[in-house]
Amino acid sequence: MSDAIEYELKGDIAILRANNPPVNALGHAVRSGLIAGLERAESEAKAALIVGGGRTFFAGADIKEFGKPFKEPGLPSVCTRIERCSLPVISAIHGTALGGGLEVALGTHYRIAVSSAKVGLPEVLLGLLPGAGGTQRLPRLIAVERAIEIITTGRQVGAAEALELGIIDEIGEGDIEEIGVAYAQRILAEGKGPRPVGNMPRPTPVDFDAIHQAALTKGRGQIAQATAVRAVEHACNNDIDAGIKLERDMFMALLKSPQSQGMIHAFFNERAVSKLPELKGVEPRDVKAIGVIGGGTMGAGITVAALLAGLDVTMVERDSSAAQAGADRVSGFLQGSVKRGKLTADKYDAIMANGFRASDSYDALSNADLVIEAAFEEMGVKKTIFAKLDRVCKKGAVLASNTSYLDVNEIAASTSRPADVLGLHFFSPAHVMKLLEIVVAADTAPDVVATGFALGKIMRKIAVRSGVCDGFIGNRILKTYRTCADHMVLDGASPFEIDTAMTAFGFAMGPFEVADLAGLDIGWATRKRLAPTRDARERVATYADKMCEAGHFGQKTGQGYYIYEKGKRGGTPDANVTALIEAERRELGITPRAFSQDEIQRRYMCAMVNEAAKVVDEGFARRPLDVDMVLLFGYGFPRHWGGPLKWADLQGLDGILVDIQSYAKEDDFFWQPAQLLERLVAAGKTFDDLNKGDTV
Ligand code: T1G
């Protein structure tokens, strides 16, 4: 017996206990151990119990095995072997039974869980579909529409809902193994034998064509969900063995798809990104009470994110009325969490009574372990604030700025303790967006960097290390691909065509819709800030300045690239913008030309990849995966591509370089090929090779 599955005979019950920490992934040793355990149980027991050791039932197939040579027994055959066991087989579920874990449970004959357990088939979140009978057994066990919803969303289902749906038979309390043994003994006492799900009637067909189309539309380019719908359709038209074979073929096809490679890249790297070798063994400073300077949208959002993470927060504003306004904003955000069921009313009361206070005095920060400044984006304001913090904060307090582009080195220099200063760049709305750029200045101490990452973990953010350059990682790259979009507008594409093209690529919104949402005045201020040092060769679209001069800042003024009508979702393209663009083309002597959707997407993405490669090569991002995680969690990059540099690897870097070189013939200032990209192509390597430690 492999020690990945421990075997223990307890009376008439053979216990097969998973022992593959941390999540009992169904690797080869576990799969072999299950088969061996069943064979032994059939020789000496009257029932078999499958249970997870440690903190959880099986969390699914071992994703680390994907892409490696396949080793029998495969999970589908393990589940079928369980189902055909001559003894009744019971699963006892705690923690999470996900993917192949739930498929193992569906292969058993009876299922019991503790109330805190969760089950699910999240394969679509990896660009896959359940590949070990999940699409065939679940719709036999529960209503087919419910099965499709669970499979195509990949969501986790709590024990109570699982019981109500029929996924599990009972909910028990206490030690999972004791519950499982007692349930198995009861099954025997009641004279119950095996109850194969696969022998249950085929599910009743539903309108699969309509559901398939809806899955394609909702998936915005993703294919796994729609493919899974067709797999469930096979369950309606085939016996279990034939259905499982068809499902496996579909699974293997998806496993080879670029989308699955992209989503598996995202899965592992959203975890790897905050594990920096340089921080190994570096102890973060203790953070329990934090201060937030500023009660505006960002300050209140950061405050709420910290409060929801269990931190004590003191907000400081310039005077008592601003402090009250900030407190009201915090209260409003938290009441929104209560309304959405993310926070109980009692917890809200406790936070507002004990965990939060607003003040107009910096003295209130004298005990803060860490302070985050979220005030007006102007260097003079920041320096004044940090000088005050330097005076009032205790020794060892970490002083952070939420600035989105100002030089953190300069901010640090306005204090007597630059080693305690870093940037913590949150993304708006800060209590919703997962990304946190940890901006490390020249003098920032390693344990202060570690404290930034520890705070990110407490606040359940995806924390990414960034060096200090204009825009750090995300906004610097955004400026480049946004400029590329403006160049295409000057040359003939419309903002609306570009938005359509990039939503077809998989973004939730195109760049001009995003600009309208964020506020056109932000870009306007940036263009004015950079104008004095701008290179004469740089092409800058000025039509947008005319929109801002007319007070059209986007959604907040009801008009930007689009016209927004009260009560109506989305906006309507503004014909005035088209007129402004045409006028600018005439001034520049440009004869507009057509852009296909493919060309728009290709240019946009090449600009993004090229700048990202420079950010990595210059050391502002530690690895290509860091850039991928920034774009995924801060800029709505479609997860099924894994991030811009994973997308580039999947497309082929040589083709991307060729395209950039051809664009450079039109504009060799904007399109300067990244040297890292040239080196990778010359060496026949990928960005992922760099993630694995390769160098070029
Ligand atoms: N395979 C390999 N490693 C895994 C893993 C898995 N399935 N799940 C987690 N890990 C690693 C993870 O990378 C991390 O590693 C450590 O375990 C702790 O994870 C045939 C084909 C279970 C809810 O998609 O959702 O079954 O960083 O930090 O926050 O149809 O892990 O420590 O080195 O996330 O407590 C389907 C994925 C697979 C579940 C626990 N299953 N995992 O969350 O810990 S495909 C999934 C999760 C499949 C079949 C198909 C979460 C969790 P490291 P963690 P956590």
Question: Do 68 and 140 reside in the same domain of the chain?
Answer: yes
Q: Which domain holds residue 603?
A: 474-691
Q: What per-residue confidence (pLDDT) applies to 221? A: 84
Alpha helices in 73-223 (DSSP H): 75-83, 100-107, 134-141, 144-153, 159-165, 176-189, 208-219
Is 60 exceeded by the pLDDT of residue 1?
A: no
Question: Do 296 and 224 reside in the same domain of the chain?
Answer: no
In a domain, 277, yes or no: no
The ligand 1 site (C-beta within 6 Å) comprises 22-23, 25, 59-64, 75, 96, 98-100, 103, 122-123, 126, 128, 130-132, 134, 268, 271
Q: How many domains does the chain have?
A: 3
Is 80 exceeded by the pLDDT of residue 211?
A: yes
Residue of 112, 115, 98, 107 lying closest to 133 (CA atoms): 107
In a domain, 108, yes or no: yes
In a domain, 47, yes or no: yes
The pLDDT tens digits for 480-492 are 999 999 999 999 9
Alpha carbon distance 470, 476 (integer Å): 6
* Cβ burial 308-332 (10 Å sphere, 16+ → b, else e): bbebbbbbbbeeeebbebbbebbbe
Q: Tell me what the mean pLDDT of segment 436-456 comes to.
A: 98
In a domain, 274, yes or no: no
What is the number of the ligand 1 atom nearest to the C-alpha of 128?
A: 21
Alpha helices in 142-257 (DSSP H): 144-153, 159-165, 176-189, 208-219, 224-237, 240-255
- Dist. CA 251 → ligand 1 center (Å): 18
Q: Tell me what the mean pLDDT of segment 14-30 comes to.
A: 97
Question: Do 407 and 519 reside in the same domain of the chain?
Answer: no
The pLDDT tens digits for 56-66 are 999 999 999 99
What's 678's domain CATH number?
1.10.1040.50
Instruction: HSE, CB side, 13 Å, CA atoms: give it for residue 300.
Output: 18
What is the number of the ligand 1 atom nearest to the C-alpha of 275?
A: 27
Last-in-domain residue among 238, 256, 274: 256
Alpha carbon distance 469, 449 (integer Å): 17
**Other CB atoms within 10 A of residue 422 CB:** 27
In a domain, 267, yes or no: no
Question: Do 529 and 491 reside in the same domain of the chain?
Answer: yes
Question: Do 482 and 462 reside in the same domain of the chain?
Answer: no
Question: Do 626 and 674 reside in the same domain of the chain?
Answer: yes
What is the number of the ligand 1 atom nearest to the C-alpha of 76?
A: 20
More confident residue, 570 or 141: 141
Question: Do 455 and 526 reside in the same domain of the chain?
Answer: no
| Model confidence band, residue 523 (pLDDT cutoffs 50, 70, 90) | confident
Q: Which residue lies with its CA nearest to atom 51 of ligand 1?
A: 59
Alpha carbon distance 129, 255 (integer Å): 9
Q: What per-residue confidence (pLDDT) applies to 2? A: 62
Alpha carbon distance 175, 472 (integer Å): 49
Last-in-domain residue among 239, 256, 273: 256
Q: Which residue lies with its CA nearest to atom 28 of ligand 1?
A: 271
Identify any residues that bridge with 92 across adjacent strands, giving them in sequence order.
51, 112
The pLDDT tens digits for 390-443 are 999 999 999 999 998 899 999 999 999 999 999 999 998 899 999 999 999 999
Alpha carbon distance 391, 139 (integer Å): 65
Q: Which of 204-213, 442-451, 526-535, 655-664 has the lowest mean pLDDT?
A: 526-535
- Dist. CA 61 → ligand 1 center (Å): 9
Question: Do 488 and 596 reside in the same domain of the chain?
Answer: yes
Question: Do 334 and 455 reside in the same domain of the chain?
Answer: yes
Q: What per-residue confidence (pLDDT) applies to 612? A: 98
What's 163's domain CATH number?
3.90.226.10
Q: Tell me what the mean pLDDT of segment 558-577 comes to.
A: 91
Q: Which DSSP category does 534 fall into? A: -
Q: Which residue lies with its CA nearest to atom 54 of ligand 1?
A: 271
Question: Do 347 and 447 reside in the same domain of the chain?
Answer: yes
What is the number of the ligand 1 atom nearest to the C-alpha of 59?
A: 22
| Model confidence band, residue 628 (pLDDT cutoffs 50, 70, 90) | very high
In a domain, 116, yes or no: yes
What is the number of the ligand 1 atom nearest to the C-alpha of 129?
A: 30
More confident residue, 328 or 221: 328
Q: Which of 178-187, 520-529, 612-621 has the lowest mean pLDDT?
A: 520-529
Q: What per-residue confidence (pLDDT) applies to 301? A: 95
Question: Do 418 and 527 reside in the same domain of the chain?
Answer: no
What's 367's domain CATH number?
3.40.50.720
Question: Do 306 and 453 reside in the same domain of the chain?
Answer: yes
In a domain, 33, yes or no: yes
Residues found in the chain? 696
- Dist. CA 118 → ligand 1 center (Å): 14
283 is catalytic: no
Q: Mean pLDDT: which of 338-342, 378-382, 615-619 is highest?
A: 615-619
Q: What per-residue confidence (pLDDT) applies to 514? A: 92
- Per the prediction, the chain carries an average pLDDT of 95
- Dist. CA 625 → ligand 1 center (Å): 19
Percentage of residues of the chain with pLDDT beyond 70: 100
65 is catalytic: no
Last-in-domain residue among 417, 449, 466: 466
Identify any residues that bridge with 373 across adjacent strands, giving them in sequence order.
293, 401
Given the residues 83, 123, 177, 611, select the one marked as catalytic: 123
In a domain, 624, yes or no: yes
- Dist. CA 54 → ligand 1 center (Å): 14
Q: What per-residue confidence (pLDDT) applies to 279? A: 94
Note the pTM of the prediction, 2 decimals. 0.93
Q: Which residue lies with its CA nearest to atom 16 of ligand 1?
A: 22
Given the residues 39, 44, 72, 103, select the one marked as catalytic: 103
Q: What per-residue confidence (pLDDT) applies to 521? A: 87
Q: Which residue lies with its CA nearest to atom 53 of ligand 1?
A: 271
- Dist. CA 542 → ligand 1 center (Å): 49
| Model confidence band, residue 529 (pLDDT cutoffs 50, 70, 90) | confident
